[in-house]
Each structure stands twice: as C-alpha cells, then as structure tokens.
Amino acid sequence: MRRSASPPDAIARVSFRILEVAERGKPGRSRRTPPARSANETLGLLDDPIFHQDVVTFLSHLDSSRERSLTLSQAQRDAEADRFFGRSVLSFKEKWDVWPPKSADVLDATGARQKAAAILTGRWGMIPVFPFTTNADIAAAVTRIRKAIGRKHQDAQNASRVARGLWLLEQGFPPEDVARAAWGKQWKKLSHKQEEWIMRALRGKGVPYRKAEQAILKRTPHKSAQSMIRTARNRYNRALDIGRRETDSPVNSDPVSRAITRLLRDVFCEPHVFPSSLVSHAKALRTALLGSPAA
C-alpha cells in the first residue's frame, strides 16, 4: 500500500526496450511472434504459484531500480535501465517465454490492491451505525459520500482486467485474441451481404465511397478489438494519473474515513513517521467518531 515516487518515465523506458526487442525479433523468427501458448494459456500462468512469485520478485526489483533512479542523472538513469533490462527483464523472458508484467494490477484478481489505493486516496467512506442511527441517517450519509468520491467507469474499476489485456498485447497477441481472453469479447466477421448492405445504407446517406469503405473496415474484429482496447487503456491511464495526484491530496469524503485514511497513510506510506503524528491522527479519528472531547 505504499506510494511509489518513481520518475514518470521509468516504466516507459522498460516498455520501450521490450517493444524494441520484440519488434526486432530473434534470428530465424518473425517479428512480434506471440508465445507458443495461446492468450488464454498465457493468462493461466498467473495461476501458477511459481510464476506468480517470480512476477512479485520482478516487480520488487523494478521498484528498487526506480527508487535508485531518483538520485541519478538522465544518462545514469538510462544506464540503470539498460542494466535492469539485461539482468531482470530478459532473464524473466528466457525462463517463461513471456515479457514480465510491469504492474501489480495484473495479479490483483480480487481487487484488493484497488481497494487499498482507494483508501489511500480518500475515495471511500465509512458510516458509523449506532443503535440510535436511523435508515434516513444512513441514506443521507451514503448520498453525501457518493457525491464526494464520485464514480468510475467499469474499465477504471476493473484495473486488473485492463492490465492483463495490455500485458497480453505486449506479448504480440492480436487485439481480437486479447479482447476474447481478457474481456470475453468476440466479434464475428461481417459477411459479404452485410458489407453490401452497410455500403448501400451509407451511400444512400450521401457518404463518399472511400469513407463508407473505411467505415466497414472499422467493423472488422481486428479494428473493433483494437478500438475497445485503446479506449480501455486511455481510461486506465487517466485513473492512474488521478490516483497519483490524490495520493498526495486525498479526497475528503467524510470525517471518519478521512481520519482513518490519514492514520493508514502514516503506517503504510511514511515508514519514518514520528509517533506524535500517529497519536495526533488517532485522536482525530476518536473526535470523528465521538465528537470533540469538550462536547
């Protein structure tokens, strides 16, 4: 649950190197060759306890490399990225024949990581229910908290699914295979009659032939899956950006959850926090629950 203070381009450099090597390919093999296993079989690796532990170890090394990069110059960061790529990324690839995930969201099938992030950013709420609390009190509190924390699109909510889809895409699987494995989506190829019907309908509306043809191409399984994944990735990345900003300035949804958030941030995000801060935030929690001692 601790925050990552990595430079914004740290993972991007590793991603670029993975793409660069994947595009170049190995001698005698076609470029961007997917693993020998299918997309579903590749996702199945996440259920392998040995693979799971290797991913955890890799992500720990990645986090350590990013923290070391904080104090380095740009040239030194590039050198560190090259060393990490050769030492950790390629060794993982050689062992499992897949590129390693770069986000723990890939492992978060239960949503525990996302719940932890929501707590640390203040996007949650707690309603104390006492024997004298009425249903009207609870309903009003739910409305107030919902208004403060907002809602997220399903793609942003299910970060694990999007992260798994992007991981499969990085392996070289075509978008339609990724959409089927990660999202359970499948598009049927348009028949010749369907294409003719769409063409006639568009031409009847005055759409030029070239644009009508492009519109039909966008309905192919490949293009449809590609568009869906791109939209999901954009929502996922926006949610990550918002989460980073809110980690420093948590949302204030209600007094109780805000006090608990501040207390948990002391414990998980600030390993060198002074005991006085813990005591102060614990007192704030007491006040949020019981009111001011003078009341």
CA separation for the pair 35, 22 (Å, rounded): 11
Specify burial of residue 105 (Cβ count, 10 A radius: 0-12, 13-18, 19+): buried
Least confident of 118-127, 153-162, 246-255: 153-162
φ/ψ (deg, to 5) at 40:
-65, -40
CB under 8 Å to 10, separation ≥6 — which residues?
65, 66, 69, 77, 81
The mean pLDDT value for 223-241 works out to: 81
> What six digits make up the tokens of 147?
């208004």
Length of the chain: 295
* Helix 275-290, helix 255-268: angle, nearest 10: 160
**How high is the pLDDT of residue 124?**
83
pLDDT band at 156 (very low <50, low <70, confident <90, very high): very low
CA separation for the pair 178, 56 (Å, rounded): 23
Q: Which residue has the higher pLDDT, 50 or 102?
A: 50
What is the tens place of the pLDDT at every residue in 133-150? Answer: 999 999 998 898 888 887
pLDDT exceeds cutoff 60 at 19: no
- Can you give the chain as a three-state secondary structure string? CCCCCCCCCHHHHHHHHHHHHHHHCCCCCCCCCCCCCCHHHHHHHHHCHHHHHHHHHHHHHHHHHHHHHCCCCHHHHHHHHHHHHHHHHHHHHHHHCCCCCCCHHHHCCCCHHHHHHHHHCCCCCCCCCCCCCCHHHHHHHHHHHHHHHCCCCHHHHCHHHHHHHHHHHHCCCCHHHHHHHHHCCCCCCCCHHHHHHHHHHHHHCCCCHHHHHHHHHCCCHHHHHHHHHHHHHHHHHHHHHHHHHHHHCCCCCCHHHHHHHHHHHHHHCCCCCCHHHHHHHHHHHHHHHHCCCCC
**How high is the pLDDT of residue 139?**
93
**How high is the pLDDT of residue 30?**
38
Whole-Å CA distances, 203 to 95, 200, 206, 208: 54, 5, 5, 7
pLDDT exceeds cutoff 60 at 160: yes
pLDDT exceeds cutoff 90 at 128: no
What is the tens place of the pLDDT at every residue in 161-216? Answer: 889 999 999 888 988 889 888 888 776 666 667 667 777 887 888 888 788 777 76
Gyration radius from the chain CA atoms: 24
Whose tokens are 């995000």? That residue is: 269
Buried b (16+ CB within 10 A) or exposed e, 139-155: eebeeebeebbeebeeb
φ/ψ (deg, to 5) at 251:
-70, 140
CA separation for the pair 221, 117 (Å, rounded): 35
> What six digits make up the tokens of 109?
């099938």
pLDDT exceeds cutoff 80 at 4: no
The mean pLDDT value for 61-73 works out to: 80
